[in-house]
Amino acid sequence: MEPKENINIISRETRGKIEKNTELMEHVSNKGIITDLIKKAEYGTPILKLGHGDPKLMITAGIHGDELPPQIAAMWLIEDLNSKINGTLYIIPFAVPNATMKNSRRFKGFDMNRTASKSGFISNKIVNTVKKLEIDALADFHSTKPGSNPGIQSVFCSKKPCYQSYLMAEHVTNHTPSKMICHKEAGTLYKGAIEDECNLAGIPAITCEVVSKNGTVDGKSPEKSYLQMKAYLEYFKAI
């Protein structure tokens, strides 16, 4: 029997056993709603709804399964909020459970943060879910390995067509030790990122990065991702 909770599945092809990622599990509790989310991931990509009313916000993590700090931070946030939110918050703590299970950056050979504009991919299904739920803003959380691009704690945003993307990034970078990386227009660097596809659809979005080697948890990287999440929510006075 599927576990009962305010959790739905937005894609079943991505299903995976999160508990097989022992590196991730060392940093989270397997009890209460976290247990429910981990069990639900066996059926596909879980989305948790907290609160009700406006604003309607979304946090996503794990679009790259081997980027562990934001997935850990998302579960910490869920426990700490304990449903106390001003407005509605949707959280996708592991966008691709199968990739998280395997500690893999890709799913079926594809980078899911380059496919959000292509029908049938989980990143595209997330963007379509954002539209269906009439989400007011989204923040997508990642980690970046040292020496890669960007390789630093940062917040990606754009000024067109959603200037609020820039304002959200400005707030997060002002309240965390993150560098803003701003593009004049969404989608100009590469195609298919969840952040860009949301901005192009008129839904303000940012991408937040902390530094950690792929497949591992370096230093205080989950704590840093957690603080970025809180800063995003504080911008909307949701917490």
Task: Decide if 226 is inside a domain.
Answer: yes
User: Rounded to two decimals, what is the model's pTM?
Assistant: 0.96
Task: Decide if 11 is inside a domain.
Answer: yes
Task: Decide if 193 is inside a domain.
Answer: yes
Which CATH number belongs to the domain containing residue 43 in this structure?
A: 3.40.630.10
The token duo for 30 is 């397997």
Task: Decide if 140 is inside a domain.
Answer: yes
pLDDT of residue 85: 95
pLDDT of residue 1: 34
pLDDT of residue 3: 36
Helix axes 221-235, 164-175, angle to 10 degrees: 130
Which of 127, 124, 177 is closest to 155 using CA atoms? 177
Task: Decide if 97 is inside a domain.
Answer: yes
Task: Decide if 131 is inside a domain.
Answer: yes
DSSP state of 2: P
pLDDT of residue 190: 84
pLDDT of residue 4: 39
Amino acid at 143: S
Contacts of 82 (CB under 8 A, 6+ apart): none
Task: Decide if 126 is inside a domain.
Answer: yes
Each residue's pLDDT tens digit, 125-176: 999 999 999 999 999 999 999 999 999 999 999 999 999 999 999 999 999 9
Each residue's pLDDT tens digit, 86-100: 999 999 999 999 999
DSSP of 81-93: HTT--SEEEEEES
- 185 has which bridge partners? 160
Q: What is the count of structural domains for the chain?
A: 1
What residues of the chain score a pLDDT lower than 70?
1-5
Task: Decide if 1 is inside a domain.
Answer: no
What is the extent of the structural domain holding 124?
A: 7-235
